[in-house]
Amino acid sequence: MQKLMVFTGALCVLLAVACSESPAGSGGLESSETPDYSVDGIGWNEVSEELQAAFVEAHQAAGVDDRPVFEQYLPAIGPVALLDYLEATYPACHGQAHSLGKELYRQSQDLMVSLQICGTRCTGACMHGVVGEALGEGGMHQDISGRMEEFCASDAMAVHKRGNCAHAIGHALLLNSRDLGYALEACDGYQLPAMRYYCATGVYMQYRDWLRAGEIPDDRPTTLYPCDEQELFPAACYRYMMSFIQEGADLQGQEIIAICLNLPEQDRRGCFHGFGSTYRFGVMNRLESEPDVLRQLCIHGDLADQIMCVEGVVEKMVDYDPAVALQACGGLSGEIRMICEDAAREGMYRLDKPTLKYYVSSDNPEEG
């Protein structure tokens, strides 16, 4: 803990954000009205049944826009208890923990404590929210483009994969600039193409979340926008935009496949990656009755398209159930099965992904 405090403190100086002078968890509540922003705060089981019921009712009613609920209940319940609830209630609690992480930093104004509380909980989403809030719009540091490498290489972020950190920075870049083009260009601040790609995934996830929450108007000029204008990382765009594209245009699976097949090579691969990611829950639900369901889903296009589809399904599935992710690979054979099993073991955010060449364009070579 002392080592983490030292390096996180240095990180706070580097990024000009607030940090506490005392370690997280150094003391309990001074009174029942004092928020407990510490790693050893109370758990969900220690919250009164009345308060539990009130939060659950409010959270379930909130839908996509659940941040106001966390704003209201975080001081009374505490972040540890809320993370306990989210992890017990949702398979990966990724979307929900984004909002919680944002609100945790806004209320505590303490990057060190917030990162310690979040750790890797809710598949890193709590950390994503903290970083986005601390470094994004309204945060205390408005120019992070020259400090991204240092941030993700710091000991304070050592508990996270570096690619996961880059994803969080992508959120922050768009929150900071509110300019999609600028945020994507800023991802070039990373040296490795893999880090630039994962940064772009964070940008597009934030853009999609804004659209879903109605925080920006859906005045996209084409059905596939902005993915049909993405030159470097179409897979990053389609991974996070495909479900929104599908819902908005009321497209069925076969219609999406037809769209993907008619795209240029790099865009086609990205499109099939987004297609696979969108149907990962369908694969999980049908796996017991149809052991080869993954093969059936990802049979379209050439081998590269099929690989991109398979990784779109499996890598995120690891966050929900690694054993099921590996089981899903059982219906495949040959090279694609080996790639699938590798994805099931490693999950998302690998910097040494053998298939990286399919994720970046020829203008953004793998060397770097």
**Residue 366 pLDDT:** 43
Compute the distance between CA of residue 103 and CA of residue 307 in angstroms, rounded to an integer.
38
Q: Which of 177-191, 310-324, 350-364 has the lowest mean pLDDT?
A: 350-364
Q: Which H, E and C letters describe the chain, residue by residue?
A: CHHHHHHHHHHHHHHCCCCCCCCCCCCCCCCCCCCCCCCCCCCHHHCCHHHHHHHHHHHHHHCCCCHHHHHHHHHHHCHHHHHHHHHHHCCCCHHHHHHHHHHHHHHHCCHHHHHHHHCCCHHHHHHHHHHHHHHCCCCCCCCCCCCHHHHHHCHHHCCCCHHHHHHHHHHHHHHHHCCHHHHHHHHHHCCCHHHHHHHHHHHHHHHHHHHHHCCCCCCCCCCCCCHHHCCCCHHHHHHHHHHHHHHHHCCCHHHHHHHHHCCCHHHHHHHHHHHHHHCHHHHHHHCCCCCCHHHHHCCCCCHHHHHHHHHHHHHHHHHHCHHHHHHHHHHCCHHHHHHHHHHHHHCCCCCCCCCHHHCCCCCCCCCC
Which of 33-42, 91-100, 302-311 has the lowest average pLDDT?
33-42
Task: Report pLDDT digits (tens) over 207-216.
Answer: 998 998 888 9
Structure confidence at residue 305 (pLDDT): 98
Q: How confident is the model at residue 34 (pLDDT cuts 50, 70, 90)?
A: low
d(CA 67, CA 45): 22
pLDDT of residue 71 exceeding 90, the answer is: yes
Quote the pLDDT of residue 137: 62
18 pLDDT above the threshold of 70 = no
pTM comes to 0.80
* Measured distance CA(159)–CA(174) in Å, rounded: 24
The more confident residue out of 320 and 277 is 277
The gap from C-alpha 361 to its chain's centroid, in whole angstroms, comes to 22
Least confident of 1-5, 105-109, 222-226: 1-5
User: What is the percentage of the chain residues whose pLDDT exceeds 90?
Assistant: 61
> Taking 70 as the threshold, does the pLDDT of residue 16 lie above it?
no
Q: Return the minimum-mean-pLDDT range out of 92-106, 272-286, 353-367.
A: 353-367
pLDDT at 3: 33
Q: What is the mean pLDDT of residues 8-20?
A: 48
Identity of the residue numbered 259: I
pLDDT score of 11: 47
Between 135 and 93, the more confident residue is: 93
Integer Cα distance of 344 and 91 in angstroms: 17
| Position with higher pLDDT, 104 vs 6 | 104
Residue with tokens 């710091």: 154
Q: What is the pLDDT of residue 15?
A: 53
pLDDT digits (tens, 9 = 90+) for 92-128: 788 889 899 999 999 998 888 888 899 889 988 898 8
Average pLDDT over every residue of 36-62: 92
pLDDT confidence of residue 10: 42
pLDDT-above-70 percentage for the chain: 86
Mean pLDDT for the chain? 85
Residue extents of the structural domains in the chain:
1-26+33-160, 238-368
